[in-house]
Structure 1
């Protein structure tokens, strides 16, 4: 897909990975609908970055844990941009939920944003994609390389990986490619110590942590290619190599 003039929706685009993806798509020529939940000021900064890159951009607020809010989000996007060519499901929650103290509320909250919301975003984006397009879900290597202390998060990303494959099969006939990008050591928890970071990076063959821009480049690559679908591209420095 040639991205010049195309319309991309990026969820969770106010900060971090989402912002890098939004600006990466803008640098490639796309206009970007910037979704955010609470970070209105940061979302506006992303909008301005997209505009500086030459693209049209507007910010749209929605709580992705609320299915009705997701429907309203795409109604608002349709009023502004009329259609959608690219959807990137980047928004996520990441919370420690040890299995010996896990609550139903914690489980439901993690799955609601990380798995159910992307499914509903796809569902409501589809009527706006009559001519085909591309969907990229941001999963995680935690979908296959699980971590203790984060069972709800790992399960939610595994569900998103399964959604990617199922949707790719379902939508191929509509000329919609559905893929995933699985980041490795890109972002760190705020309370992560330098020693903990080094312990992780010792497991990564390439001698550095990744950057949000590495993820953005992978998203742009997948969106541009019209003959890749149902795939998960690990951007992990070789961490999951067998």
Structure 2
């Protein structure tokens, strides 16, 4: 079986400036991909990630955009085509978390959560489906709460849940071009994205429920996504839960 690699590929990383997205940008570049680093607000972090890629001998460009606006999603992919000639891989790591009871959630909060987690996810998949070369790979970042029975996260898990349905439909619709489409739904990751919504007691509870007594490690998730877009590309239409909190190192 021929090995699939990142070498010579072009990747668009939504939220590619920091946390998991930043690690993916650097990891893909180290594997030989040219990377478009999307960011919304964090320009300094995007420029630092691009600088790190270039210092390591890779190629990357930053691009700002609000992914809840379809025209700006198109502009992000325009940047990949204009800079590198096409797109092979599209990974959307963007999202927003809110832990709040249903009875206390405002309409503005609902709209914002579904805009960032569902609407942006839909139009990212749509634009990727239009732009990716044959044999392309699309990955959206979900959450292990999609498989949970818990309180407090109605708009976060609810906003991420449409990604499963978008993904299954896209996997069928893009199959004739051999484009795989998947959702990766990690457990609570040990990144700054996780902690603001949780109390120290809940953090310890999450650790206690995971293998090895630790939160999901971001570099393990990055390795899993890298596998999905290379040798694991035969997965499609799936929601995959790398949420054991057990490091492969």
Matched with 1:149 is 152
1:56 corresponds to 2:59: yes
Deviations 1:153-187 (A, max 9, x none): 11111111222222112211111011121110213
Matched with 2:17 is 14
How many angstroms does 1:190 deviate by? 2.8
1:139 corresponds to 2:142: yes
How many angstroms does 1:2 deviate by? 1.8
Matched with 1:45 is 48
Q: TM-score, normalised by structure 1?
A: 0.91
1:203 corresponds to 2:209: yes
1:231 corresponds to 2:238: yes
Q: Please list every run of at least 4 consecutive aligned residues from structure 1 whose deviation after the TM superposition is greater than 6 angstroms.
A: none
Matched with 2:116 is 113
Q: TM-score, normalised by structure 2?
A: 0.89
1:120/1:195 CA distance change after superposition, 3 Å? same
CA RMSD between the two structures: 1.9
Matched with 2:181 is 178
Matched with 2:31 is 28
How many angstroms does 1:216 deviate by? 0.6
How many angstroms does 1:233 deviate by? 2.2
Q: How many residues align?
A: 239
Matched with 1:4 is 7
Counterpart CA distance in 2 for 1:146 and 1:38 is: 33
Deviations 1:93-114 (A, max 9, x none): 1123320022222112111111
1:216 corresponds to 2:222: yes
Structure 2 residues not aligned, in runs of 5+ = none
Counterpart CA distance in 1 for 2:56 and 2:182 is: 25
How many angstroms does 1:131 deviate by? 2.1
1:138/1:224 CA distance change after superposition, 3 Å? same
Structure 1 residues not aligned, in runs of 5+ = none
Counterpart CA distance in 1 for 2:141 and 2:212 is: 21
C-alpha contact (below 8 Å) 1:60/1:77 kept by paired residues: no
How many angstroms does 1:191 deviate by? 5.8
